[in-house]
Chain A
């Protein structure tokens, strides 16, 4: 147990007793990078402020019923039902606490605003431009396109340590939510439009990302690896992927976007990604391109699951 643990003890003690294991499980207690750090800090501040009112109220909720039981013959005021002082306090104290909470909430909104986190302005070095990654969620995989490197991956997000990452997100079919618990703010990926997200991780590490918004039969297997690697390793990795035999243009993408349950979230890698693919996908969805989920797949997914990586019949 390190010192850090003691700081969080108040929050996670009861959970620990039930969990009976280390705090490693609780991803949100281990924020990584300025955005997640800020989010965690706001969590502690807001919970702390609220405890100022929650704890005394909780205490009264337990003390009053015990103290004023009939059997105890405590003081009894049968007609007392009004006190200006108490009523002013009953409105005033929650008002003050709420005002403080709103103040911190407002600060937090701009500090971690996924579109333009203020916290990253100060944190990121201006020497390197942000790494651009375009994220497309399909039924039911994550496609990460690196437009400047002309490469793409499925279910494997690799970024360099110490460099800000700017994401654009969209979806081919239904809504998903891009979510790496201890790294980046959750952000929805939606068809026919795009949203943005940004994060920065200073030290190398491996994290798991998830989809936060239910999207159908393959949703549970929409987790993806997130690897933060040293800059040099990142360059090597890019070079490797650039040599990948699989290439990705819009035609290949349309095949890939057919409903697929990717059991075990197995990664794939593509080189020579067509420029403007992300925009084309957004445009196509606006023009009504959908990737129908066949009734047979939604119903039969149980039977096919055993054979890993069941593919849907092409259908559109």
Chain B
């Protein structure tokens, strides 16, 4: 023990005591009952239908990029719901705790959440939404779509892909565990420094935040490597750089950001870890420490991270709008240029997060100008989407509605973002809820991209479309909710409400707070419609065609729906930027290959999921300072990785005859169909 800790510590259980379990808090008991019920239903269903072997063989041990993508998105949606509930709690607290005469419940002076609880809720909301909801969902989309769009069999490193997924899940699991064992951080999703240091945060909250983020971001870095290599090395013959679909372009640029930015976060968190565990002074205020260094490092990662999330959404708009306009994307080359311009400029704007920190005017001028420059390529993108619709033949489906909404949100978010990038304005609204409303506009644009993508590509994976009527209801409830929550929030920002308040000083804010609460109600409705959309679609399962929307333009719509686990029976030859549109124009869309060739497929493996479990145990051990647990887990991970590296004959062969048989009875090849066990290469050779 190099640092002074408050409270007891034992070699066996570290800092963990019975007191860490909040069994006296009625809110958490309710949450626990809810979570336990859901878990029991899921586990019970799996056991009742004897699906455990299926689950293990086909999902938990899979290295198939589509299944990994689906699991990424599933984890993301669960966390999105958790983050949403956090949002509901925050809004409800603020509407109850406005003004000195507001009543208090459940032991709080105002509202129903005491500050310490409220602070954890808002910290969890930010961390979860950005790192454990949006990031996994976008990683999942990239996983599913990128190999299909470039005509590849799988990702470049299928095994590493599964490791990335399970590391992300390990991080998410730690965040969830913090609900019921100990506390979460109260120092915001950014880790406010020096507030996150031991003297001000003696509990385990910051440790939960730090290790969850650390483990998940290592997964994200691996995933970035994987997608970059896949795009660079595994494009189908004929697919030159300027035939790459724009979604793939954005995934490339976004993951270049990911690969270069996430290590900065890893280092910043590691140094914070040294402060909290070893008693160093990297980010303390005194004794040679410099907490501004942390703030710099965090935002050097954090601002590129914003574009890391934004660019894939741009990619989605660039796929959905041409498909439903029945026209090629307007200005393809400038679109690609704009994508990389945003990714590049995104690296030189980080200091705009702290204009109020006493930076010299000349430095501020640089960062203000750099930030404003982002507006140029973003504007170009908006115009290109608009002129894609111009003289098109538009079918307004829900994916299209989401994409158009995304453009509108981008305009509002862009307007307010440009305002904030001018220091003269920033000095008046920095750290107010105006900023919160601004970046929620951006995140909502990302959500619009996500929902657009989910509806658009759903049939490719599952073979049927999502129900349009409930999808529309979901859309409208979500849009109305967004307007009601975030327009008043802009107002509250102009009224001087600062961020992260658990008690509001000014009773005059009440009408706006009530409007926000009504908006939250509409969000609740949208969740119900979303679930109903899933239910109705799963119940009806109307089969979709290979080219599910009939106006698809890119490679992924050329293969079967649902997509076979080997993606393409024969690697396609690419002739044009919009290959499917080109084939349709030339009457080749129904062409069948004249012969099949054997395919080398990767074998499933249980190693990644076990690494994920061990990583979660490693993190849990560090959080509670149970040194033996961390040590054993880390050692086990290292041993597993070494053993696995001796497996030289990875994968198995699908013979031409097998492929032909499956192509003629395509439902047997579907990614969600149960597959017979196939002998791995090493055993085939032994025979």
Contacts and interface: CB of A to CB of B under 8 A. Distances in A.
A267 interface: no
Contacts of A228: none
B358 A188 contact: yes
Interface string A162-196: 00000000000111010101100111101110011
Interface stretch (A229-237, A272-280, A288-296): A288-296
A112 interface: yes
A68 B389 contact: yes
Given A87-B334, A305-B108, A192 B428 contact: no
B285 A192 contact: yes
11 contacts: A18-B491, A61-B411, A80-B391, A94-B378, A105-B421, A173-B285, A174-B195, A174-B200, A181-B495, A188-B354, A306-B109
B379 A187 contact: no
A177 B430 contact: yes
Interface in A49-94: 50, 53-54, 57-58, 60-61, 64-65, 68-70, 74-83, 86-87, 89-91, 93-94
B428 A181 contact: yes
Contact of A298 (B203, B387, B396, B422): B203
Given A216-B195, A301-B116, A186 B386 contact: no
Interface string A18-60: 1111001111110000001011101100110010011001101
Name, among B195, B327, B496, the residue most crowded by chain A CB atoms within 10 Å (CB to CB).
B496
Interface stretch (A125-133, A152-160, A217-225, A242-250): A217-225
Given A61-B407, A105-B368, A212 B356 contact: yes
Contacts of A5: none
Contacts of B364: 109
B379 A53 contact: yes
Contacts of A221: 503
B372 A105 contact: yes
A75 B392 CA distance: 8
A195 B408 CA distance: 39
Interface in B388-423: 388-396, 400, 404, 407-408, 411, 414-415, 418-419, 421-423
A249 to B, nearest CB: 21
B419 A46 contact: yes
Interface string B422-436: 111111111110000
Contacts of B292: 190
A263 B109 contact: yes
Contacts of B28: none
A82 B425 contact: no
B202 A292 contact: yes
Given A58-B408, A303-B107, A288 B384 contact: no
A254 B354 CA distance: 29
B491 A105 contact: no
B499 interface: yes
A115 interface: yes
B444 interface: no
9 interchain residue pairs of minimum CB distance: A302-B114, A108-B424, A94-B379, A181-B496, A305-B109, A185-B427, A191-B285, A15-B491, A212-B431
A27 B430 CA distance: 14
A196 B291 CA distance: 19
B369 A105 contact: yes
B428 A81 contact: no
B431 A65 contact: no
B393 A223 contact: no
Interface of B: 6-7, 100, 104, 107-109, 114-117, 119, 186-188, 192-195, 199-203, 281, 284-287, 291-292, 325-332, 334, 354, 356-358, 361, 364-365, 368-369, 372-373, 375-376, 378-380, 382-384, 386-396, 400, 404, 407-408, 411, 414-415, 418-419, 421-432, 487-488, 490-491, 494-496, 498-506, 508-509, 511-512, 515
Nearest to A183: B428
Interface string A122-160: 000000000000000001000000000000000000000
A210 interface: yes
Contacts of A291: 199
Contact of A50 (B380, B389, B418, B509): B418
Contacts of B505: 208, 210, 220, 223
Interface residues of A, number: 117
Nearest to B493: A28
A182 B358 CA distance: 20
A6 interface: no
Contact of A94 (B376, B415, B511): B376
A47 B419 contact: yes
Contact of A18 (B379, B418, B488): B488
B28 to A, nearest CB: 13
A7 interface: no
A105 B427 CA distance: 12
Nearest to A91: B380
Given A21-B511, A105-B372, A174-B192, 16 more contacts: A15-B490, A24-B508, A25-B506, A40-B428, A58-B411, A68-B390, A68-B392, A80-B391, A89-B383, A109-B368, A174-B200, A190-B285, A191-B286, A214-B187, A214-B195, A293-B202
Contacts of A263: 109
A287 interface: yes
A312 interface: no
Contact of B285 (A53, A83, A285): A285
Contact of B499 (A40, A91, A214): A214
Contacts of A213: 192, 431
Name, among A68, A114, A221, the residue most crowded by chain B CB atoms within 10 Å (CB to CB).
A68
A256 interface: no
Contact of B430 (A69, A83, A113, A212): A212
A205 interface: no
B109 to A, nearest CB: 4
A101 B417 CA distance: 12
B508 A50 contact: no
Contacts of B407: 61
Given A196-B358, A220-B502, A298-B203, A28 B368 contact: no
Given A109-B423, A182-B496, A76 B393 contact: yes
B195 A106 contact: no
A313 interface: no
A14 B487 contact: yes
Nearest to A94: B379
A4 interface: no
A302 B379 contact: no
B361 A109 contact: yes
Given A20-B511, A210-B505, A289 B424 contact: no
B376 A91 contact: yes
Contacts of A80: 327, 330, 391
Contacts of B388: 81
A214 B286 contact: no
Given A102-B368, A191-B286, A302 B116 contact: yes
A12 B100 CA distance: 27
Contacts of B414: 54
Given A105-B424, A216-B200, A263-B109, A295 B7 contact: yes
Contact of B365 (A97, A109, A186, A306): A109
A258 interface: no
A186 B431 contact: yes
A83 B327 CA distance: 14
Nearest to B108: A302
A196 B422 CA distance: 19
A34 to B, nearest CB: 12
A50 B428 contact: no
A57 B411 CA distance: 8
Contacts of A305: 104, 108-109, 114
Contact of A78 (B188, B327, B334, B421): B327
B358 A26 contact: no
A104 interface: yes
A314 interface: no
B327 A292 contact: no
A289 B285 CA distance: 9
